[in-house]
Amino acid sequence: MRDRRGIIIGIVAIVVAAAVAPVLSAYPLTLLTQVAIVAVLAMSLDVLLGYTGLPSLGHAAYFGVAAYAVGILATDYQRGFLVCLLVGLVLATLTAAMFGLLAIRATGTYFLMITLALGMVVWGLAFRWVSMTKGDNGIAGVPRPDLGLPWNLGAPLPFFYFVLAAALLAWALLGLLVRSPFGLTLMGIRESESRMRALGYNVWLHKYLAFIISGAFAGFAGVFWAYYNGFVSPVDVQLVTSVETLLMVALGGPGTLAGPALGAALIVFLKNFVSVYTKRWLLILGAVYIGVILFAPRGVLGAFRRKP
Amino acid sequence: MPLPKRESLMRTRILASLMLLAFALPLGMPAAPAAQGAPIKIGFLAPLTGPFAQIGKDMVNGTELFLDEIKREVGGRKIELIVEDTEGQPATALNKSRKLVEQDKVHVLTGGLLANVGYALQPFIDGAQIPATYPVIAADDITQRKPAKWIVRTGWATSQPMHPFADWALKTTKYRKVVTIGMDYAFGYETVGGFQRVFEEGGGQIVQKIWTPLNTNDFAPFLSQIRRDADAVLALFVGRLALQFVKQYQEAGLQGKLPLLGGGTTTDESVLPQMGDEALGIVTALHYSQAIDTPANQKFARAFEAKAGKISSYYSEATYTNMRWITDAIKAVGGKVEDRPALLAALRKVDIKDTARGPLSVDAYGNPVQTIYIRKVERVGGRLQNTVIATYPGVSQFWKSKPEDYLKQPLYAREYPPCKYCQ
């Protein structure tokens, strides 16, 4: 089984994280929480980039749409978690469905450019639709969800377990997806679109569905992101967020699911720990990127895998 | 080709141990004891990378300058400054604040530049109940409609200098019809809004409002829209955009025909040295000018220039005075910074007569009452400066209104106050 190693590493990482969480102080714990959320975003992009071969530069859009939905519903309308989750997911999915219609026709650089432009549309909305989004001031004071459980999700530890469970669920669902006949077809399209078409597959539909599913999972991550920060602003939907997600996938290893999650962990920890010791942390981050491209072009996890 | 089993096992082991290391790393971080006599820790947030890095550097330099002057000691306790980079991003700023408060156990949190960072940190600061100050973040509502309990603003509110500025324009100039042009975001709305409200209450008219996107490079399409029958133009730009706008205003042949007024950042000393004759004559309002002619400011301005190799801007003065404010409060509680409510109360009681920017006190909402300077760009001794041409002492963020009445009106926004005289 090709992907067993990724699964084992992923499970080990999750078990270790869950085990050490209670003894961690609040700050590293919040970073772990962030890793779990961003990992879902990176894995959602992996469905497109790694499995279908479509590099999207607008992934922050779906992430941000869901985050904004939560931000607005939880503050202005004081809705509970389930309503926010549902609306966030639906809106992210609809956005992806709409953008997919426009973007899927293109390939390669053109696909990059169109997704980038569509992502900027959402950024523009977040920035300019002030009555709805509060513009660049952002929406502050999103309360942590209250599920009526005996644990107070406002505290760092229960919230971490909550997010970890959600991330695990997303990973499992995405794992099932890429191993399903549908996922295998996506990989076929990645390898050779024309051959798949000749074999009678509806290539456009497969790519479109992958695009929507990917957007929906990005939205899933966005819901938790809004709760995690308690704050949503146009920064969450800007290009930098999309690019960083792309880098996480590339760093960890596209087409592995566990790889992008690892990439997300690496980037979050590098950003937050290296910057404590040196102002030149961007240089180190850059060196890591270059090192990975030179020595492990298929990503950190990809380097440990058999050649295809 | 499949790898030999042993090799693949080794790789797995290496990877697993690396991951363990990554997760174990935070465990090794020392947790500082918070005993008396131990250093007082001050956490400072500034954008040190990204487009605002230069301003971030000014902010750190101002802070360091004051700490050096007091030999990094107050009330018999050493001061330890921990600087963290926000990248100018709210999410990063939040992470770094958590680190400063929860891991480094700082006693005071301060710094920050952009409004969205200010709003993002507010719930965290109030939740963590950590005494905090905002030396630069000026978004009106932080000390108005959504006042934060644990944040004291040592800087200014965006619309604060603009109310007296409009008053000045009405009283000393013949400008009655003014066109505004500003950056299309909250800082622009609040600057223009503050001016418009007082200007129109006093009988002036804003006859046109133009908003330019933040990434504008070519202002020609906007400059050609400006109504030529207006008396003056009020401009609000920051950083690179201020440089480009003022230059292109001259190139469009408007300099000298339509006098240029502006929000303070349009000719702030962080951009003024890069400007030329095109900036001469621009009148702006702010709570600071490098050219304020008082001994306190001259001393600060000289010391800052010696340390940083550039002239002081409002950003550096803000953080310099902010640190003085904080250390004054620490002195007031006898160095007992562990008593957070007492320290917060002391921060809210600070009253300093001789800061570089003049006397400072705090209102009930946590914003300084301070002198506002009307400044005109002149060339003195070969370099441009913001010469003070009028002063408004003791200006509150609520101008002349009662706070309750003032807070009944909505926050200044793109469409508020509405443009009654626009065609």
Domain range summary for chain A, segments of one domain joined by +: 25-236
Mutation choice for A interface testing from B64, B119, B124, B215 by most A CBs within 10 A: B119
pLDDT of residue B36: 55
Q: Are residues B268 and B394 in the same domain?
A: yes
In a domain, B31, yes or no: no
Q: Are residues B282 and B235 in the same domain?
A: yes
The pTM (predicted TM-score) of the whole model is 0.83
Contact state of B115 with A128 under an 8 Å Cβ cutoff: no
Kindly report which listed range (B28-42, B54-68, B303-317) carries the lowest average pLDDT score: B28-42
- The secondary structure of chain B, three-state, reads CCCCHHHHHHHHHHHHHHHHHHHHHHHHCCCCCCCCCCCEEEEEEECCCCCCHHHHHHHHHHHHHHHHHCCCEECCEEEEEEEEECCCCHHHHHHHHHHHHHHCCCCEEEECCCHHHHHHHHHHHHHHCCCEEECCCCCHHHHCCCCCCCEEECCCCCCCCHHHHHHHHHHHCCCCEEEEEEECCHHHHHHHHHHHHHHHHCCCEEEEEEEECCCCCCCHHHHCCCCCCCCEEEEECCCHHHHHHHHHHHHCCCCCCCCEEEEHHHHCCCCHHHCCHHHCCCEEEECCCCCCCCHHHHHHHHHHHHHHCCCCCHHHHHHHHHHHHHHHHHHHCCCCCCCHHHHHHHHCCCCEEEECCEEEEECCCCCEEEEEEEEEEEEECCEEEEEEEEEEEEECCCCCCCHHHHHHCCCCECCECCCCCCC
Per-residue pLDDT tens digits for B251-278: 999 998 999 999 999 999 999 999 999 9
The Cα of B311 is separated from the nearest Cα of chain A by a number of Å equal to: 23
The Cα of A183 is separated from the nearest Cα of chain B by a number of Å equal to: 23
The Cα of B120 is separated from the nearest Cα of chain A by a number of Å equal to: 6
The model's confidence at residue B114, banded by pLDDT at 50, 70 and 90, is: confident
pLDDT of residue A3: 63
Please state the rounded mean pLDDT for residues B293-318. Answer: 94
The Cα of B254 is separated from the nearest Cα of chain A by a number of Å equal to: 29
Nearest CA in chain A to B53: A279
Token pair of B365 as six digits: 């909402």
Q: Are residues B228 and B187 in the same domain?
A: yes
Task: Check CB contact of B409 with chain A, cutoff 8 Å.
Answer: no
Please state the rounded mean pLDDT for residues B11-21. Answer: 48
Q: One digit per residue, pLDDT tens: chain A, 308 residues?
A: 456 777 888 888 889 888 988 888 888 888 899 999 999 999 999 999 989 989 899 899 999 999 999 999 999 898 889 999 999 999 999 999 999 999 998 888 899 999 999 999 999 999 888 888 888 888 988 888 888 778 888 888 999 999 999 999 999 999 999 999 999 999 999 999 889 999 999 999 999 999 999 999 999 999 999 999 999 998 889 888 898 898 899 888 888 888 899 899 988 888 887 777 777 777 888 888 888 888 877 887 777 665 54
Q: Reply yes or no on whether the pLDDT at B30 is more than 50.
A: no
Q: How many structural domains is chain B composed of?
A: 2
Contact at 8 Å (CB) between B247 and B282?
A: no
Q: Reply yes or no on whether the pLDDT at B397 is more than 60.
A: yes
pLDDT of residue A131: 84
Q: Are residues B344 and B384 in the same domain?
A: no
Q: Are residues B358 and B377 in the same domain?
A: no
Task: Check CB contact of B10 with chain A, cutoff 8 Å.
Answer: no
In which domain, by residue range, is B360 found?
Answer: 40-156+294-366
Contact state of B90 with A233 under an 8 Å Cβ cutoff: yes
> What mean pLDDT value characterizes chain B?
89
Please state the rounded mean pLDDT for residues B107-135. Answer: 92
What percent of chain B shows pLDDT beyond 90?
Answer: 76
Residue B110 sits in a domain whose CATH number is 3.40.50.2300
Greater pLDDT, B28 or B243: B243
Q: Which residues of B touch A234 (CB under 8 A)?
A: 116
In a domain, B349, yes or no: yes
What percent of chain B shows pLDDT beyond 70?
Answer: 91
pLDDT of residue A283: 84
Nearest to A306 among B3, B49, B124 (CB): B3
Q: Reply yes or no on whether the pLDDT at B28 is more than 50.
A: no
Q: Which residues of A touch B8 (CB under 8 A)?
A: 5, 304
Q: Reply yes or no on whether the pLDDT at B1 is more than 80.
A: no
| Residues 135-174 (B) with a CB less than 8 A from some CB of A | 139, 146
pLDDT of residue A163: 94
Q: Are residues B282 and B169 in the same domain?
A: yes
Nearest CA in chain A to B190: A137
Greater pLDDT, B249 or A2: B249
Task: Check CB contact of B92 with chain A, cutoff 8 Å.
Answer: yes
- Of B366, B400, B416, which residue constitutes the final position of a domain? B366
How large is the ipTM?
0.79
Q: Are residues B223 and B316 in the same domain?
A: no
In a domain, B422, yes or no: no
Q: Are residues B151 and B177 in the same domain?
A: no
Q: Are residues B261 and B352 in the same domain?
A: no
Contact state of B119 with A231 under an 8 Å Cβ cutoff: yes
Nearest to A138 among B31, B96, B120 (CB): B120
Please state the rounded mean pLDDT for residues B294-314. Answer: 94
pLDDT of residue A141: 86
CA distances from B390 to B143, B374, B384 (A): 26, 5, 18
Cβ–Cβ pairs < 8 A, chains A and B: 124
Q: Are residues B78 and B178 in the same domain?
A: no
Mutation choice for B interface testing from A152, A235, A300 by most B CBs within 10 A: A235
Task: Check CB contact of B13 with chain A, cutoff 8 Å.
Answer: no
Q: Are residues B139 and B248 in the same domain?
A: no
| Residues 121-140 (B) with a CB less than 8 A from some CB of A | 122-124, 139
Q: Reply yes or no on whether the pLDDT at B29 is more than 50.
A: no
Q: Are residues B236 and B318 in the same domain?
A: no
Q: Which residues of A touch B19 (CB under 8 A)?
A: 9, 12-13, 16, 262, 265
The Cα of A206 is separated from the nearest Cα of chain B by a number of Å equal to: 30
